[in-house]
């Protein structure tokens, strides 16, 4: 069984552990640098990216994670986790750090205040079956632009904070790094966690 760590200093860790376990992985919370040594892949959950950034530096996890990512460790980030994987963060805190595992610019809280949270079907490329993913968005970011080598897996037509309805990218992959604006760990649809566990197996 592949061992998949879940960044556990902040965020909805338990839900990811449950989904990964259901997909056949050994899921382990990662709070200390040494705990990172034993994992074949890492999930960064939903939560609050500014807090994750701060705590990861304080607990000495930032540099070890950055190093493993530079070495090609598979990683999946949902919502705040997506922000943590971006190369550029818009509407972030000035001191907010992110790993840059995916060449993308993300905008925090991009869907605006009036509809902080919503659910919508999102077709996601490469998942089993033709059903769209039932996506849960909670103060979600969107991907504003992507660089070379990034595959867009999913987008949604939705108004942003400016009220303009336009397609916005909400799921991407670059090599062994996967990110979604939404929270599959909250829905019971295991296809994205299944895809990620397969990515971890393939890399091992």
* 185: annotated active-site residue: yes
- The window from 17-25, 40-48, 98-106, 158-166 that contacts ligand GLN (CB under 6 A) reads 40-48
What is the Cα–Cα distance from 31 to 17, expressed in whole angstroms?
14
CB of 134 to ligand GLN, least distance (A): 16
CB of 90 to ligand GLN, least distance (A): 11
- The window from 22-30, 76-84, 153-161, 168-176 that contacts ligand GLN (CB under 6 A) reads 76-84
CB contact at 8 A, 103 and 146: yes
Please report, in range form, the residues annotated as the binding site for L-glutamine. Answer: 47-49, 108, 138-139
* 23: annotated active-site residue: no
CB contact at 8 A, 167 and 157: yes
CB contact at 8 A, 115 and 107: no
Site for ligand GLN in 83-122 (CB under 6 A): 83, 108-109
Q: Which of 185, 184, 159 is nearest to 171 (CA)?
A: 184
Judged by beta carbon, residue 9 or residue 80, the one nearer ligand GLN is: 80
Judged by beta carbon, residue 105 or residue 198, the one nearer ligand GLN is: 105
Q: Is 79 in the site for ligand GLN (CB under 6 A)?
A: yes
Backbone torsion region of residue 84, taken as left when φ is above 0, otherwise alpha when ψ lies between -120 and 50, otherwise beta: alpha
CB of 143 to ligand GLN, least distance (A): 14
Cα dihedral sign for 78, 81, 83, 86? negative
What is the Cα–Cα distance from 118 to 188, expressed in whole angstroms?
17
* 198: annotated active-site residue: no
Q: Which positions touch ligand GLN (CB under 6 A)?
A: 46-49, 79-80, 83, 108-109, 138-139
- Residues identified as active-site: 79, 183, 185
């Amino acid at each position: 069984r592949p061992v998949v760590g879940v960044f556990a200093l902040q965020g909805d860790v338990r839900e990811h552990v449950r989904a990964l376990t259901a997909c056949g992985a050994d899921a382990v919370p990662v709070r200390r640098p040494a705990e990172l040594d034993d994992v074949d892949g890492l999930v960064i959950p939903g939560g609050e990216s500014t807090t994750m950034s701060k705590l990861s530096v304080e607990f000495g996890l930032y540099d070890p994670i950055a190093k493993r990512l530079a070495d090609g460790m598979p990683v999946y980030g949902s919502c705040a986790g997506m922000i943590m994987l971006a190369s550029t963060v818009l509407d972030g805190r000035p001191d907010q750090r992110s790993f840059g595992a995916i060449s993308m610019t993300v905008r925090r809280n991009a869907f605006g205040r009036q509809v902080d949270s919503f659910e919508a079907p999102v077709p996601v490329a490469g998942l089993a079956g033709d059903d769209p993913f039932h996506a849960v968005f909670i103060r979600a970011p969107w991907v504003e632009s992507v660089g070379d080598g990034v595959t867009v897996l999913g987008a949604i037509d939705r108004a942003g904070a400016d009220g303009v309805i336009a397609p916005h990218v909400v799921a991407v992959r670059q090599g062994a790094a996967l990110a979604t604006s939404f929270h599959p760990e909250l829905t019971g649809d295991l296809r994205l966690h299944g895809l990620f566990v397969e990515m971890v197996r393939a890399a091992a």
